[in-house]
Amino acid sequence: MIRLKIFISSVQKELREERTAIGRFLVMDDFLRECTVPRIFEDYPQSLRPNPKAYLDLLQQCQIYLLIIGTEYGSDAGGGLSATHEDRLAQKRKIPTLICGNGA
How far is C-alpha 93 from the geometric centre of its chain's CA atoms? 15
Which CATH number does 4-101 carry?
Answer: 3.40.50
Q: Where are the domains of the chain?
A: 4-101
**Structure confidence by residue, pLDDT tens digits, 28-68:** 999 999 999 999 887 776 665 567 677 888 888 999 999 88
pTM for the model stands at 0.82
Rounded to whole angstroms, the Cα distance separating 74 from 77 reads: 9
Q: What pLDDT, on the 0 to 100 scale, is given for residue 70?
A: 80
pLDDT of residue 11 exceeding 80:
no
- Given a cut of 60, is residue 95 above it in pLDDT? yes
